[in-house]
Amino acid sequence: MCSGRVDLTFVLRAFSNGMDGVFIGGCRLNECNYSTHGNYDALNMVLLCKRIMEHIGLNPERLRIEFMSSAEGILFAEVMDEFGKKVKELGPLGKGEGIDHYELKSKLEEITKLVPYIKVMKNEKLASRLENPEEYDKLFTKDEIDTLFSEVISYYIDPEKCQACMTCAQRCPVEAIISAKNQVHVIDQERCIKCGTCFEACPPRFGAVTKIVGEPVPPPIPEEKRTIVRKSKER
């Protein structure tokens, strides 16, 4: 019902499935039927996605958003005709840019996994209301998006410091923390959406959750070594 429902993952999925171009049509800006003005959200998502496409070497012109009313059939036909021609001119996805098929597939998979993180990091800008098209290019810059991916944040629980209080596991929104009583807690990096809640939630007296920027996360402590032996029980 609304272009604002078109999530970044939908666009990435279309490209992952081999689509050569993606077109999003929305109602005219400021003519939204609802109070939500979701077409601004769609616009921001597209501006972000175009920069991500540039980052992975895809031509951003493969993605287009246009706003028009349902009474503008001729305009719609013209835009689609023009976009279709543009996509043909660009050639098959990846091939036109000289990117190896498997390399592109893995890049798209990697980016798709990071979508929740990207949304957390860019949530303010994604809520912008850009009234002037001259502002579109400046909302997200190339350098900003390159930095976003070169300095990806990960969270890691230091097994030496974790006291198995379970607070982080109770707060994690996606159940990404392997948790059990008296067991060192471990973050499942595949499930983690990098929201940082565990980092905030771990009591300062333990300070067991570490933020890692742009570096690989140490491997998880083996299961057989996760039991915490309390000092009182050692005696």
Q: Which residues bind ligand SF4 (CB under 6 A)?
A: 155, 157, 162-168, 172, 174, 176-177, 185, 187, 192-198, 201-202, 206, 208-209
Residues paired with residue 97 on neighbouring β-strands, in sequence order:
none
Beta carbon of residue 176, minimum distance to ligand SF4 (angstroms, whole number): 4
Q: Which CB, 100 or 200, lies closer to ligand SF4? A: 200
Among 207, 209, 203, residue whose Cα is nearest residue 186: 209
- Could you give the C-alpha distances from 10 to 32, 105, 189, in angstroms and in order? 22, 15, 23
Q: Give whichever of 58 and 177 is closer to ligand SF4, judged by the CB atom.
A: 177
Angle between helices 38-55 and 8-16 (to 10 degrees): 40
Closest distance between ligand SF4 and the C-beta of residue 115, in Å?
A: 13
Which C-beta is closer to ligand SF4: that of 96 or that of 116? 116
CB nearer to ligand SF4: give 29 or 180.
Answer: 180
Give the separation between CA 84 and CA 121, rounded to whole angstroms.
33
Minimum distance, C-beta of residue 208 to ligand SF4, in the bound complex (Å): 4
Ramachandran region, residue 117 (left: φ > 0; alpha: ψ -120 to 50; beta: rest):
alpha
Q: Minimum distance from CB of 213 to ligand SF4 (Å)?
A: 13
Q: Where are the alpha helices (DSSP H) in the chain?
A: 8-16, 38-55, 73-90, 101-113, 115-121, 123-126, 136-139, 142-150, 167-171, 197-201, 231-234
Beta carbon of residue 87, minimum distance to ligand SF4 (angstroms, whole number): 37
Nearer to ligand SF4, 205 or 235 (CB): 205
Provide the minimum distance between the beta carbon of 161 and ligand SF4 in the complex, in angstroms, as a whole number. Answer: 7
Collapsed DSSP state (helix, strand, coil) of residue 155: strand
Nearer to ligand SF4 among residue 103 and residue 151 (C-beta): 151
How far apart CA 219 and CA 189 sit, in angstroms, is 10
